[in-house]
Amino acid sequence: SGYITLDYGYKNTGATTSAITFLDGEEGILHYRGYPIEQLAEQSSFLEVAYLLIYGDLPTKDQLAHFEHEIKIHTLVNEDVRKIFDGFPVNAHPMGVISSLVCALTAFYPESTNPDRNQEMIELTIIRLLAKMPTLAAWAYKNSQGHPVNYPKNSLDYCSNFLYMMFALPVEEYEVDPVIVDAMNKLLILHADHEQNCSTSTVRIVGSSQASLYSAVSAGINALWGPLHGGANQAVIEMLEAIKNDGGDATKYLNKAKDKNDPFRLMGFGHRVYKNFDPRARIIKKSADQVLGKLGIKDPVLDIAKQLEEAALSDPYFVERKLYPNVDFYSGIIYRALGIPTEMFTVMFALGRLPGWIAQWKEMISNKEPIGRPRQVYVGSTKRDYVPLDKR
Ligand code: CMC
Q: What is the pLDDT of residues 47-99, one digit of tens each?
A: 999 999 999 999 999 999 999 999 999 999 999 999 998 899 988 999 999 99
Of 291, 317, 337, the residue that ends a domain is 337
Element (H, E) at 255: helix 250-258
- Residue 272 CB less than 6 A away from ligand 1: yes
Catalytic positions, written as ranges: 271, 328
Average pLDDT over residues 296-314: 91
If asked whether residues 41 and 136 sit together in one domain, one would say: yes
Ligand 1 atom showing the smallest separation from residue 230 Cα: 52
Of the chain, the percentage scoring pLDDT greater than 90 comes to 86
Find the CATH number of the domain harbouring 144: 1.10.580.10
Average pLDDT over residues 372-387: 96
The residue whose CB lies within 8 Å of the most ligand 1 atoms, and thus the one to mutate among 280, 308, 321, 357, is 321
Predicted confidence at residue 146, as pLDDT, reads: 87
- Residue 94 CB less than 6 A away from ligand 1: no
User: What is the spatial distance between Cα 28 and Cα 39, in angstroms, rounded to a whole number?
Assistant: 15
- Residue 275 CB less than 6 A away from ligand 1: no
C-alpha dist (Å) from residue 211 to 24, 203, 229, 318: 32, 10, 23, 41
If asked whether residues 207 and 119 sit together in one domain, one would say: yes
If asked whether residues 131 and 167 sit together in one domain, one would say: yes
If asked whether residues 77 and 145 sit together in one domain, one would say: yes
6 domain-assigned: no
Please count the structural domains in the chain. Answer: 2
The residue whose CB lies within 8 Å of the most ligand 1 atoms, and thus the one to mutate among 201, 202, 271, 320, is 271
Beta bridge partner(s), residue 35: 32
Ligand 1 atom showing the smallest separation from residue 194 Cα: 51
Position 1 confidence tier, pLDDT thresholds 50, 70, 90 = low
Residue 43 dihedral angles phi and psi, to the nearest 5°: -115, -10
Question: Rounded to two decimals, what is the model's pTM?
Answer: 0.95
- Residue 220 CB less than 6 A away from ligand 1: no
If asked whether residues 158 and 300 sit together in one domain, one would say: no
How many residues in the chain? Answer: 392
Distance of CA 243 to the CA centre of its chain: 25
- Residue 230 CB less than 6 A away from ligand 1: yes
User: What is the spatial distance between Cα 116 and Cα 210, in angstroms, rounded to a whole number?
Assistant: 9
Give 176-195 pLDDT, tens digit per residue: 999 999 999 999 999 999 99
Domain membership of residue 318 as a residue range: 232-337
CA 270 – ligand 1 centroid, Å? 5
- Residue 328 CB less than 6 A away from ligand 1: yes
193 domain-assigned: yes
CA 42 – ligand 1 centroid, Å? 29
CA 265 – ligand 1 centroid, Å? 7
If asked whether residues 79 and 153 sit together in one domain, one would say: yes
- Residue 269 CB less than 6 A away from ligand 1: yes
Predicted confidence at residue 369, as pLDDT, reads: 96
Beta bridge partner(s), residue 36: 31
If asked whether residues 192 and 239 sit together in one domain, one would say: no
